[in-house]
Structure 1
Amino acid sequence: MGTHLITGAGSGIGAAVARRLAARGEELWLLARNAVRAKELAEQFPGAKMLVGDLATPERLSWAFGQQPLPDRLDSLQHIAGVIELGAVGDLPAKAWQRQLAANLVAPAEITRLMLPMVRLAQGHVVFVNSGAGLHANAQWGAYAASKHGLKALADSLRAEEHGNAVRVTSVYPGRTATPMQESTHQQEGKEYDPSRWIDPESVASTVLAAIDLPRDAEINDVSVRPGR
Structure 2
Amino acid sequence: MGHVLVSGATGGIGKALVNALVGAGHQVTAVGRDVGRLDVPGIEVDLAEPESLAAAAGETSDAAAAMAEVDALVYCAAIAPIAAVADTDPATWQRILAVNVASAAELVRQALPALRRSRGHVVFVNAAPGMTGVARWSGYVGSKAALRELADSLRVEEAPHGVRVTTVYPGGTATELLREVRNTFGRPYDPDLFIQPHTLAEMICWVLNTPRDAYVCEVSVLPSPR
One fold, TM greater than 0.5? yes
Q: Return closer, same or farther for 1:223/1:137 CA change in 2, 3 Å cut-off.
A: farther
- Which residues in structure 2 correspond to 1:158-177 (within 5 Å)? 158-177=154-173
Residue of structure 1 aligned with 2:151, choices 139, 149, 155: 155
Q: Deviations over 1:53-92 (max 9, x none)?
A: 1101112211222212232311110101110001222222
Name 2:41's counterpart in structure 1: 49
Q: CA deviation at 1:32?
A: 3.0
Does residue 29 in structure 1 map to residue 29 in structure 2? yes
Residue of structure 1 aligned with 2:70, choices 74, 78, 93: 74
Name 2:54's counterpart in structure 1: 62
In 1, the alpha carbon distance for the partners of 2:50 and 2:11 equals 21
Name 1:40's counterpart in structure 2: 37
How many residues are matched?
A: 221
Name 2:80's counterpart in structure 1: 84
Residue segments in structure 1 that go unaligned for 5+ positions in a row: none
Residue of structure 2 aligned with 1:223, choices 199, 216, 219: 219
Q: CA deviation at 1:135?
A: 4.5
Secondary structure in 2 matching 1:138: coil
Secondary structure in 2 matching 1:172: strand
CA contact (8 A) 1:134 1:149 kept: no
Q: Deviations over 1:96-152 (max 9, x none)?
A: 211110100001001110111111111110000011277423112211011000000
Secondary structure in 1 matching 2:51: helix
TM-score by length of 1: 0.91
Greater CA deviation, 87-96 or 101-110? 87-96
CA contact (8 A) 1:211 1:220 kept: yes
Name 2:10's counterpart in structure 1: 10
- Find runs of 4+ consecutive structure 1 residues off by over 6 angstroms: none
Residue segments in structure 2 that go unaligned for 5+ positions in a row: none
In 2, the alpha carbon distance for the partners of 1:137 and 1:40 equals 37
The alignment yields a C-alpha RMSD, in angstroms, of 1.5
Q: CA deviation at 1:192?
A: 3.2
Secondary structure in 2 matching 1:90: helix
Identity %: 39
Name 2:126's counterpart in structure 1: 130
Equivalent residue letter for 2:50 = P
TM-score by length of 2: 0.92
